[in-house]
Amino acid sequence: MAERLRILGIDPGSRLTGFGVVDCRGDVQGYVASGSVQSIGGTFPDRLRRIFQSVGEIMAEYRPDVVVVESVFMHRNASSALKLGQARSAAICATFGYDVEIHEYAPREIKQAIVGTGAATKDQVNHMVCRLLKLDGQPSSDAADALAAALCHANRRRVQRALGTAAIVAALK
Amino acid sequence: MAERLRILGIDPGSRLTGFGVVDCRGDVQGYVASGSVQSIGGTFPDRLRRIFQSVGEIMAEYRPDVVVVESVFMHRNASSALKLGQARSAAICATFGYDVEIHEYAPREIKQAIVGTGAATKDQVNHMVCRLLKLDGQPSSDAADALAAALCHANRRRVQRALGTAAIVAALK
């Protein structure tokens, strides 16, 4: 049986941080858990503390091998970029106590991997996450984005493995 | 002898994070340490890890009672606001393992407290930090900003204590 790789996807936000845990065995992906962490109210350091502690608890409970976070290069508004950056960093810092790889993918890459187009809507992403993971109910928008990030990494890994195998086959010919 | 209050000021940046430790006993402030942490090179999560770990080491070494960080409300550029937000959050998250109060002051408040005008230049802040703490050499710009943040809190605390005493005297009259 193929070795299990557990991926934690995180969709950080200053008010809601989505998370999604996916297990990969070979080319098969299975849903483990998802949800979102609220960080509303209190001072801004209090809100960062809530994200940091909650992601720390998720790390301790699910012990992922890989953490995937959406990268953010561009943002229209400097003030919300500052808040998002802080929330994102609190989630990333919460993983530093664990021996995990951290991968970043741009939103367009994630949509491309899940829906097939970088311009996909949130509904399309949510729909495809449900189909790929055979979910009965729809996860929240943040949880779906986190699961999509995890699935994007699983997909990237599958493609790289296939390319690796193809290269070996080509070398043997 | 008045009880000692140790204040750690932090001036976060995505490349250089300044720190400054000041001890207050009554109305007297004394320099303890200052410096800056480099976080250049590697992936952005690697840089955040360096800030998080270095500020964690500073916390463990100096065991401050209070941490002071410059607040940032406005930023011209969304991309650098995102980077600064992440660096700032990594520094703040590194303090969560310790029982400390976190205070935030706007840059204008800090300059006002140290130089007497919210429009003070970096050189003026550096000069006043050296005078107030009786330093022989000039600290780096980031370290001076961090010391200024710590001194701003010391000043605010002194004013509040004086107002408290004045209120008690007024009540007794």
Asked about A70 being catalytic, the answer comes back as yes
For chain B, say whether A171 makes contact (Cβ under 8 Å): no
Which pLDDT score, from 0 to 100, does residue B1 have?
A: 67
Which pLDDT score, from 0 to 100, does residue A1 have?
A: 67
Q: Mean pLDDT, consecutive 10-residue segments, chain A of 173 residues?
A: 91 95 94 96 94 98 97 79 94 96 94 93 95 94 96 90 74 70
Residue range of the domain that includes B128: 4-168
Per the structure, how many domains does chain A have?
Answer: 1
In the stretch 47-76 of chain B, residues with CB closer than 8 A to chain A read 48-49, 52-53, 69, 72-76
> Per the domain annotation, does A96 fall within a domain?
yes
Measured between CA atoms, how close is A84 to chain B, in angstroms?
Answer: 7
Question: Considering the entire predicted model, what is its pTM?
Answer: 0.90
Q: For residue range A23-66, what is the model confidence (pLDDT) as tens digits?
A: 999 889 999 999 999 999 999 999 999 999 999 999 999 999 99
Closest to A140 (Cα-Cα) out of A153, A152, A123, A154: A123
> Per the domain annotation, does B173 fall within a domain?
no
> Per the domain annotation, does A27 fall within a domain?
yes
SS (H, E, C) B109-141: HHHHHHCCCCCCCHHHHHHHHHHHCCCCCCCCH
Here the CATH number for the domain that contains residue A103 is 3.30.420.10
> Per the domain annotation, does A92 fall within a domain?
yes
A43 neighbourhood in chain B, CB within 8 Å = 102, 104
Contact A45 B104 (CB under 8 A): yes
Nearest to A82 among B43, B44, B72 (CB): B72
Tell me which of B73, B77, B93 to substitute to probe the interface with A (most A C-beta atoms closer than 10 Å).
B93
Closest to A112 (Cα-Cα) out of A155, A158, A51, A173: A155
| CA A128 from centre of chain | 15
Residues 6+ apart with CB under 8 A from A20: A8, A9, A11, A33, A34, A139, A143, A144, A146, A147, A148, A149, A150
ipTM: 0.88
Nearest to A86 among B49, B77, B89 (CB): B89
Which pLDDT score, from 0 to 100, does residue A78 have?
A: 85
The span from the CA of B70 to the CA of B149, in Å, is 7
Neighbours of B13 (CB within 10 A): 20
B149 pLDDT exceeds 80?
Answer: yes
> Per the domain annotation, does A173 fall within a domain?
no
The span from the CA of A99 to the CA of B118, in Å, is 45
Quick one: angle between helices B44-62 and B78-93, nearest 10?
40
> Per the domain annotation, does A108 fall within a domain?
yes
Q: Which of A23, A70, A109, A145 is catalytic?
A: A70
Contact B85 A90 (CB under 8 A): no
Residues 6+ apart with CB under 8 A from A113: A105, A148, A151, A152, A155, A156
